Amino acid sequence: MKRLLSPLLFLVLATGCATHLPADAQHSGTKTPPRPSTTSTASSTPYGQRTDAQQWAKEMAARQGLDATWVQAQLAQAKFLPQVPRLMTPAPKTNTTARDWADYRRRFIDPIRIKAGVRFWNDNAETLARAEAQFGVPA
């Protein structure tokens, strides 16, 4: 299970810490958080050396019932990638881009991807069922 959790936890930790706001900014009453700066000290400091990131790892471990040392070790491997916050930000809504389902389907839904998805589902059926029961997210 740790093998499956490690990449997922790594992604969550990396994105969560990349957009983590200082405590004073979280309660300032602003509706939209400022975009993380790619040149800030926090962004350039490795997560394994950041006290806010290590505290977050301890809290996440406690909430998820994971070993805190293991979570902190995973977080210490994370690196801030400046393009991640940009890629996570939704594109502005415009009416100029038409969605072409047939084109999307032709490029992304093919027999190879369908087989891979079915294989993943079958290989991870037990974990998916547990996640569905625990978190209420359909497999």
Looking at the structure, do residues 39 and 64 belong to the same domain, yes or no? yes
Task: Please tell me the pTM assigned to this model.
Answer: 0.38
Query: Does pLDDT of 107 surpass 70?
Result: yes
Looking at the structure, do residues 7 and 48 belong to the same domain, yes or no? yes
Token representation of residue 84: 């991640």
Query: Does pLDDT of 119 surpass 80?
Result: yes
Looking at the structure, do residues 53 and 106 belong to the same domain, yes or no? no
Round to whole Å and give the CA distance between 120 and 74: 24
Round to whole Å and give the CA distance between 46 and 75: 9
Looking at the structure, do residues 61 and 122 belong to the same domain, yes or no? no
Best CA proximity match to 46, nearest among 35, 60, 57: 57
Exposure pattern of 9-28 as b/e (b: 16+ CB <10 Å)?
beeebbbebbebeeeeeeee
Round to whole Å and give the CA distance between 35 and 88: 11
Looking at the structure, do residues 132 and 103 belong to the same domain, yes or no? yes
In this prediction, residues 130-134 reach a mean pLDDT of 93
Q: What is the CA radius of gyration of the chain?
A: 19
Looking at the structure, do residues 18 and 71 belong to the same domain, yes or no? yes
Looking at the structure, do residues 78 and 102 belong to the same domain, yes or no? no
2-11, 75-84, 126-135: which has the minimum mean pLDDT? 2-11
**DSSP labels, 34-86:** PPPPTTSHHHHS-GGG-HHHHHHHHHHHHHHT--HHHHHHHHHT----THHHH
